[in-house]
Amino acid sequence: MQTDSSFTFVLFGGTGDLSMRKILPALYEAHRAGMLAASGKIVAVARHEEDRASYLQWVNEHVKAHVAKSGVDENAWASFVDRIEYVKLDLGRAEDFVKLRDALQDQSGTRVFYLATGPSLFVPICHALASVGLNENARIVLEKPLGYDLRSSNAINDAVGEIFSEEQIYRIDHYLGKEPVQNLLALRFGNALFEPLWRREWVESIQITIAEELGVEARGDFYDNTGALRDMVQNHLLQLLSIVAMEPPHSMDSDSVRDEKLRVLRALKPIDPRDISKVAVRGQYHAGVIRGTSVPAYATESGVKTDSATETFVALKVEIENWRWAGVPFFLRTGKRLADRVAEIVVNFRAVPHSALGASALRAGANRLVIRLQPNETIRLYCLAKKPGEGMNLSSVHLDLAFDQFFKEGQMEAYQRLLLDVINGRLALFVRRDEQEAAWKWVEPILNEWAASGKPKPYAAGTWGPAAASAMLAQHGTCWLEEEN
């Protein structure tokens, strides 16, 4: 599938980590696969490199290492680099944006501005683009975090919204571009098998986990002012929850999908501040061991305050107040320095109401669907079957859809899919402003309570977080799924 027409992709923060690791590699993969119109151009904007030659040298030295696992096709790489132009730009100099406008004057087709910068620069960049008329008939991509709380998020959205219409704004959440998330939609809405079961009568509980082995790395200063609730829950986890729980849209057009996600977010049961300790667990990692290597405590990481109360782990019990999901707990979990790197959705179905086959058929989680987002992307359905031999002894078996084995063509990475959607004007996988506001409204009582209360619970790096997170699930007769590979 090739992009519909010519385009100019303007990348602010062209020498940043995100550009190096994700955006430019994704554009290269789209180019190599023939998905970009031949006339499309990439214009990198930064202030570090002096000219195009020095920028292309930086691209060759730093970006190449992050492209396809199968290696670089040198011919494709050479033709990809030919697409790249460079503009040295200082955000504080209005005349530099005149220089950018002049550089884009001869470019035709769709114009995309990708702000791979800190959120404090979003509004100044938008104002500067408008001052030279570059906001007209353009699309703008905003990376997270979009604000620190509801008030600051609204302030950014208000300011950007004065310059770009909602249809021009693409708030990116890369988890929505992952192949298994797309397949979750296909699984639910393309098959008669699952939809009748996708409701309170048949689902006992749902877990959504995004776990990381890494710590804060070189982002200590940023992370210590953000925390896991803002960094992961308000966007990634609540977006995944809304897709799992949404009603069938009447079509897959952008507003139909996002309308249904919004209904889920608005149906989240508000958390009474007095109950936060019962339904929300926050933790902070201490020193520990991961894969045989000792790692330091969060409080000793570079850029982190030694008395920091910032959470590096969050576990939540969430309820949705509608007819489909009333009474079904959704358990969300995310953290750094955990025992494994994994992102997955676990749908635990209810046990059979009566078993003639013994107690094993009545155990919780005997039937479950596990949708793995990373590191390997699979969908696995668990059920009970008879063990070979004498007697009716049941054992857990599973059906696997391993995408890399079933589909021989290479999978599309999340950023590649989302960048193609921006270029082609498809908004369905991007977050609308009202979705973002609903998510901030729901998490804000937790943020406020934690800001006023004591420190997070400690957990050793290399474990699955504070014991209180497991105790919260035990109260509902279930446990986190942690043994899958």
Is 22 annotated in some ligand binding site? Answer: no
DSSP 90-137: -TT-HHHHHHHHHHHTT--SEEEEEE-S-GGGHHHHHHHHHHTTTTTT
Distance (Å, whole) CA 221 – CA 152? 19
Report angle CA 365, 370, 375 to the nearest 5 degrees: 140
Is 250 in the active site?
A: no
174 is in an annotated binding site: yes
CA dist 285 and 228 (Å) reads 12
Question: In this structure, are residues 32 and 76 in contact, taking their beta carbons and an 8 Å threshold?
Answer: yes
- For residue 47, say whether it is annotated as part of any ligand binding site: yes
Q: List Cα–Cα distances, 110 to 6, 39, 71, 368, in angstroms.
A: 6, 11, 30, 44
144 is in an annotated binding site: yes
Determine which one of 31, 48, 62, 236 is catalytic. Answer: 236
Contact 304, 279 (CB under 8 A): no
Answer yes or no: is 158 a known binding residue. no
- Is residue 231 annotated as involved in ligand binding? yes
Q: Confirm or deny that 93 is annotated as ligand binding.
A: no
Q: Report whether 337 belongs to an annotated binding site.
A: no
> Beta strands 169-171 and 138-142: pairing type?
parallel
255 appears as a binding residue in the annotation: no
Specify the pairing of strand 368-374 against strand 288-290: unpaired
Q: Cα separations (Å) of 325 from 197, 263, 321, 329, 379?
A: 12, 12, 7, 8, 22
Binding site for substrate, by residue number, is 174, 178, 212, 231, 336
Binding site for NADP(+), by residue number, is 47, 90-91, 144
Binding site, by residue number, is 47, 90-91, 144, 174, 178, 212, 231, 336
| Residues annotated as catalytic (active site), given as ranges | 236
